[in-house]
């Protein structure tokens, strides 16, 4: 049985054109919408572009005629003179899907300390890196140690709760997911907890501890006919009953200072990638099937037809592995020195195409097959800001965001 995140678990007003969470409706970076544009620019196939209140790395999520994003302001707008960290604001944003107009903007502040810009992390800090999740009626934002915030899709505040007070030097990147009446939050960096909150009230239903260096978004997979909640952490991959929080199994996993990639699964086999140096493994029922010395530190993998695809974040190399054996099928740099780029976004799989978004050099479209083929390179020449977010899809259009703009691309 193919592993999917069932639509029925996200109760509410979700419909086929929605992209309700990080990595889409099935939580694996795959869309069934095959009528997407192959090429675009600031002049071609641009439906709209909207300037944002500030930078951020969260990916767009979509419900009905609304797009939800986060960003931050008040600090760090000028890299050389970032300002006072006490003025940091996080923004929960809603944009009109048809025009890009900002419909509502809630500013979130906290008295708890946040880590200021330091060294090479100036342009990669995760003050607003967690993507929202929506059920079509409510939308939920995880704002690190500022808390979790629930709004109606029309922008009415519903509740907010703290999930921990700690702040990490690099911010936080895990996104919340919905499972039935529960909102699942990986608050490993804030309180060393995986938490299930009542989506109506924000009250904690269950929690589990012990998640070192866990930056990834929890994933629901179907194994032997039942749902398991799978989360990766340094040295250990763990599976839980999503309703009760009971741990079902665990096994050895990749050890690293941070594990950002979410897992992807197919027919009960769970695929894990990570760092350092690039590592990956396949697991079934808690047993390791294979290990390989290829991986990525940030973006997650996608699965198609017996192959695993991802882009190494530091080398910018598109990689294809045999999903049965872990054997390297190809590894091909998308950019070359001196313009070698980093890739923090997760690839989007649309039919026979993979859309891979670089931080500075645009979006590379490659063939989703075990032979490397570059189909297109799409660049917005007048936007030189960083892009860390993964693309979203709705109604034949691609939604992207950079540190400066949100975009909608599609056929005229």
Q: What is the CATH number of the domain that holds 192?
A: 2.130.10.10
Instruction: Say what the alpha-carbon torsion angle 276, 185, 171, 381 is, to the nearest 10 degrees.
Output: 80
Place of tokens 């439906």: 47
* Residue 84 near residue 78 (C-beta atoms within 8 A): no
Does 144 fall in a domain? yes
Give the burial string for 214-229 (b: 16+ CB within 10 Å, else e): bbbbbbbbbbeeebbb
* Residue 300 near residue 346 (C-beta atoms within 8 A): yes
Burial degree of 81 (CB within 10 A; 0-12, 13-18, 19+): exposed
Close Cβ partners of 288 (under 8 Å, ≥ 6 residues apart) = 251, 252, 281, 282
Q: What is the pLDDT along the chain (412 residues), one digit of tens a residue?
A: 343 344 334 444 456 689 999 999 999 999 999 899 999 999 999 999 999 999 999 999 999 999 999 999 999 887 778 899 999 999 999 999 999 999 999 999 999 988 887 655 555 677 999 999 999 999 999 999 999 999 999 999 999 999 999 988 888 889 999 999 999 999 999 999 999 999 999 999 999 999 999 999 999 999 888 999 999 999 999 999 999 999 999 999 999 888 999 999 999 999 999 987 789 999 999 999 999 999 999 999 999 999 999 999 988 999 999 999 999 999 999 987 667 799 999 999 999 999 999 999 999 999 999 999 999 999 999 999 999 999 999 999 999 999 999 999 998 7
Q: What is the pTM of this model?
A: 0.94
Burial degree of 394 (CB within 10 A; 0-12, 13-18, 19+): buried
What the block records as the tokens of 333 is: 């740099």
Distance CA 253, CA 280 (A): 9
CA distances from 277 to 60, 283, 294, 306, 336 (A): 29, 20, 8, 24, 19
Measuring CA to CA, which residue among 387, 318, 324, 383 is closest to residue 353? 318
* Residue 194 near residue 206 (C-beta atoms within 8 A): no
What the block records as the tokens of 400 is: 């992207």
Does 1 fall in a domain? no
* Residue 237 near residue 251 (C-beta atoms within 8 A): yes
Structural domain containing residue 297: 7-409
Q: What is the pLDDT of residue 120?
A: 55
Lay out the sheet containing 148-152: strands in order across: 133-134, 138-142, 148-152, 157-161
Bridge-based pairing of strands 348-350 and 353-357 is antiparallel
Instruction: Tell me the DSSP string of 318-361.
Output: EEEEETTT--EEEEEESS-TTS-----SPPEEETTEEEEE-SSS
Give the bridge partners for 271, in sequence order: 264, 282
The distance from CA 380 to its chain's CA centroid, rounded to whole angstroms, is 22
> How many structural domains compose the chain?
1
Place of tokens 């989703």: 368
- DSSP-derived secondary structure letter, 185: E
Distance CA 168, CA 145 (A): 9
Does 2 fall in a domain? no
Biggest alpha carbon–alpha carbon distance for the chain:
55
Does 272 fall in a domain? yes
Does 277 fall in a domain? yes
């Amino acid at each position: 049985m193919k592993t999917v995140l069932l639509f029925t678990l996200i109760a509410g007003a979700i419909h086929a054109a929605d992209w309700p969470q990080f990595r889409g409706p099935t939580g694996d970076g795959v869309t069934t919408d095959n009528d997407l544009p192959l090429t675009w620019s600031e002049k071609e196939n641009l439906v709209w572009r909207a300037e944002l209140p500030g930078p951020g790395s969260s990916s767009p999520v979509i419900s009905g005629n609304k797009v939800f994003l986060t960003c931050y302001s008040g600090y760090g707008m000028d890299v050389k003179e970032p300002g006072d960290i006490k003025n940091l604001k996080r923004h929960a944003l809603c944009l009109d899907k048809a025009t890009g107009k900002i419909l509502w903007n809630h500013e979130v502040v906290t008295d708890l300390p946040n880590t200021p810009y330091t060294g090479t992390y100036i342009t990669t800090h995760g003050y607003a890196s967690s993507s929202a999740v929506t059920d079509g009626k409510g939308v939920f934002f995880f704002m690190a140690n500022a808390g979790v915030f629930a709004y109606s899709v029309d922008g009415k505040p519903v509740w907010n709760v703290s999930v921990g007070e700690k702040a990490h030097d690099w911010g936080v990147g895990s996104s919340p997911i919905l499972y039935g009446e529960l909102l699942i939050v990986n608050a490993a960096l804030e309180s060393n907890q995986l938490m299930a909150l009542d989506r109506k009230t924000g009250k904690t239903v269950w929690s589990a501890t012990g998640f070192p260096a866990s930056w990834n978004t929890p994933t629901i997979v179907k194994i032997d006919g039942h749902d398991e909640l799978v989360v990766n952490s340094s040295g250990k991959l763990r599976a839980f009953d999503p309703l009760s929080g009971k741990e079902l199994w665990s096994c050895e996993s990749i050890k690293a200072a941070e594990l950002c990639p979410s897992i992807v699964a197919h027919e009960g086999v769970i695929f894990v990638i990570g760092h350092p140096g690039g590592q990956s493994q396949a697991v079934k029922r808690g047993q390791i099937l294979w290990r390989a010395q290829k991986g990525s530190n940030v973006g997650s993998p996608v699965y198609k037809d017996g192959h695993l695809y991802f882009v190494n974040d530091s080398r910018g190399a598109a990689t294809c592995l045999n999903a049965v054996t872990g054997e390297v099928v190809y590894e091909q740099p998308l950019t070359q020195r001196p313009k070698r780029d980093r890739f923090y976004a997760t690839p989007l799989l649309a039919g026979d195409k993979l859309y891979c978004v670089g931080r500075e050099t645009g979006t590379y479209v490659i063939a989703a097959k075990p032979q490397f083929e570059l189909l297109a390179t799409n660049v917005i020449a007048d936007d030189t800001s960083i892009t860390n977010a993964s693309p979203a899809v709705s109604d034949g259009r691609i939604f992207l965001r950079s540190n400066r703009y949100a975009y909608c691309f599609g056929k005229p």
